[in-house]
């Protein structure tokens, strides 16, 4: 198991120079809104690849009137302590994040750590998973895939860049040979994304229904892919032909009208009722059980122990949801970071939790 021992935040958001130590188990940050609780979670998340849990621009993260932010942390894995640093560099008026592990910037050193210790995020917008836009549901499924396939983000980013490049060519010059090659590459990446999402959904639903029985809940969950274009019999040539057929409309409208970036996933309970029609508390139960199901898969099948970030997790926590949340925190002995506005919200936790009052 890997876990963070501490973190130092320098010129980061509202923190000029802030240090805090962590438990390898459950850590609770409480305090009034705006005190910086979520900023601490974001700081930890930026010690991995990518733009962190908020996906914000680095220029917005640097404290006002400062040139850069620096994040330092000690990360322990298998009795080895790694010194991690994330900091920004301004290159041609564009900020870039630089990560080092024991003064080593190589990708291999980073993947050595995060291949076995992925991050799982629960954010306030996750509360409305079943009622919000399709992108929220796609993003959660993609996040779950990334925890077991650490090259997945690279695949999705490449696919999105190909889509953007195709759109520019359609508008500007319509280079036939280059369009053909782009659409070939788009088709290959898109079908891989569809396949990985389909496998992730199967794993998730299987474990989710097991937990529904374990908690004696009268529900059975299933998911339907909503996609006007795709079906599992499609091959690369079918996809390329469809992209070719859509060139004219895509040039007029912009973007690309088909593909995994347009998909949605509808969750049904007991065959034909939408999960979005359940009560708010019942929907929260389903979401927490989804995270529990993913942790079960990572721990038992992939031999990974994720680190959990649960931001403003305590809304709609009845006795059942407290029980599910405790099961999520304690079953696999994961390092967990939670935030809330009041210490009283976390009274159901054991005294072994590390409680930190964050003051602005």
Q: Cα(226)–Cα(266) distance, rounded to whole angstroms?
A: 7
Q: What integer pLDDT is reported at residue 360 of this predicted model?
A: 65
Q: What integer pLDDT is reported at residue 92 of this predicted model?
A: 85
Enumerate residues 6+ apart whose C-beta is below 8 A from 250.
166, 167, 170, 256, 257
Enumerate residues 6+ apart whose C-beta is below 8 A from 67.
11, 90
**pTM to 2 decimal places:** 0.94
Q: What angle do CA 150, 156, 159 make, to 5 degrees?
A: 145
Q: Please check whether residue 223 is in contact with residue 205, taking contact to mean a CB–CB distance below 8 angstroms.
A: yes
Q: Please check whether residue 152 is in contact with residue 180, taking contact to mean a CB–CB distance below 8 angstroms.
A: no
What is the maximal distance between C-alpha atoms in the chain?
66
Q: What integer pLDDT is reported at residue 170 of this predicted model?
A: 92
Give which of 288, 291, 282, 346 is closest to 314, Cα–Cα. 346
Q: What integer pLDDT is reported at residue 350 of this predicted model?
A: 75
The number of angstroms, rounded, from the C-alpha of 145 to the middle of its chain's C-alpha atoms is 9
Q: Please check whether residue 75 is in contact with residue 84, taking contact to mean a CB–CB distance below 8 angstroms.
A: yes
Where do runs of H (alpha helix) occur along the chain?
37-45, 58-61, 107-114, 134-148, 152-172, 176-214, 236-245, 247-253, 280-300, 319-330
Q: What integer pLDDT is reported at residue 205 of this predicted model?
A: 97
Residues in the chain: 360
Q: Cα(258)–Cα(231) distance, rounded to whole angstroms?
A: 12
Q: Which bin fits 13, alpha (ψ -120 to 50), beta or left (φ > 0)?
A: left
Helix or strand run (H / E) with residue 217: none
What the block records as the tokens of 297 is 């898969």
Q: How many other β-carbons are positioned within 10 Å of the β-carbon of residue 295?
A: 23
Query: How many separate helices (H) and strands (E) can be counted in the chain?
Result: 10, 13
Q: Please check whether residue 246 is in contact with residue 240, taking contact to mean a CB–CB distance below 8 angstroms.
A: no
Q: Cα(120)–Cα(233) distance, rounded to whole angstroms?
A: 32
Task: Provide the β-strand partners of residue 290.
Answer: none
Q: What angle do CA 134, 143, 139 make, to 5 degrees?
A: 15
Give which of 349, 331, 340, 352 is closest to 313, Cα–Cα. 340
Q: Please check whether residue 142 is in contact with residue 156, taking contact to mean a CB–CB distance below 8 angstroms.
A: yes
Q: What integer pLDDT is reported at residue 91 of this predicted model?
A: 87
Q: What integer pLDDT is reported at residue 51 of this predicted model?
A: 87
Q: Cα(327)–Cα(235) distance, rounded to whole angstroms?
A: 42
Q: What integer pLDDT is reported at residue 111 of this predicted model?
A: 73
Profile the chain (360 residues) by mean pLDDT over runs of 10 residues: 93 95 95 94 92 92 94 91 92 89 79 80 95 95 94 94 95 86 96 96 97 95 92 87 94 93 95 93 96 96 94 92 93 94 90 86
Q: What backbone torsions phi and psi does residue 277 show, to the nearest 5 degrees?
A: -90, -10
Q: What integer pLDDT is reported at residue 193 of this predicted model?
A: 97
């Amino acid at each position: 198991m890997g876990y963070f021992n501490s973190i130092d935040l320098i010129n980061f958001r509202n923190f000029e120079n802030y240090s805090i130590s962590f438990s390898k188990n459950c850590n609770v940050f409480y305090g009034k809104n705006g005190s910086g609780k979520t900023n601490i979670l974001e700081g930890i998340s930026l010690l991995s690849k990518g733009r962190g849990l908020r996906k914000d621009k680095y220029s917005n993260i640097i404290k006002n009137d400062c040139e850069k932010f620096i994040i330092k942390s000690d990360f322990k894995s298998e009795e080895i302590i790694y010194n991690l640093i994330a900091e920004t560099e301004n290159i041609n008026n564009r900020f870039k994040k630089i990560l080092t592990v024991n003064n080593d910037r190589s990708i291999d050193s980073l993947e050595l750590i995060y291949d076995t210790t992925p991050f799982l995020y629960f954010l306030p917008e996750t509360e409305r998973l079943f009622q919000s836009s399709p992108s929220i549901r796609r993003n959660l499924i993609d996040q779950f895939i990334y925890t077991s396939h650490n090259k997945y983000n690279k695949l999705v980013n490449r696919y999105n860049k190909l889509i953007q490049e195709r759109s520019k060519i359609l508008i500007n010059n319509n280079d036939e040979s280059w369009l053909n090659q782009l659409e070939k590459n788009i088709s290959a990446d898109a079908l891989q994304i569809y396949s990985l999402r389909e496998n992730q959904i199967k794993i998730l639903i299987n474990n989710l229904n097991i937990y529904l029985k374990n908690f004696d809940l009268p529900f059975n969950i299933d998911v339907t892919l909503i996609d006007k274009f795709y079906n599992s019999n499609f091959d690369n040539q079918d996809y390329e032909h469809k992209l070719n057929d859509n060139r004219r409309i895509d040039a007029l409208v912009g973007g690309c009208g088909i593909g995994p970036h347009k998909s949605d996933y509808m969750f049904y309970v007991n065959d034909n009722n939408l999960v979005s029609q359940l009560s708010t508390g019942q929907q929260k139960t389903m979401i927490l059980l989804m995270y529990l199901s993913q942790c079960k898969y990572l721990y038992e099948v992939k031999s990974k122990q994720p680190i959990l970030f649960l931001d403003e997790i305590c809304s709609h926590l009845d006795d059942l949801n407290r029980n599910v949340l405790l099961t999520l925190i304690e079953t696999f002995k994961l390092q967990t970071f939670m935030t809330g506005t009041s210490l009283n919200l976390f009274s159901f936790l054991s005294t072994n939790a590390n409680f930190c009052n964050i003051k602005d």
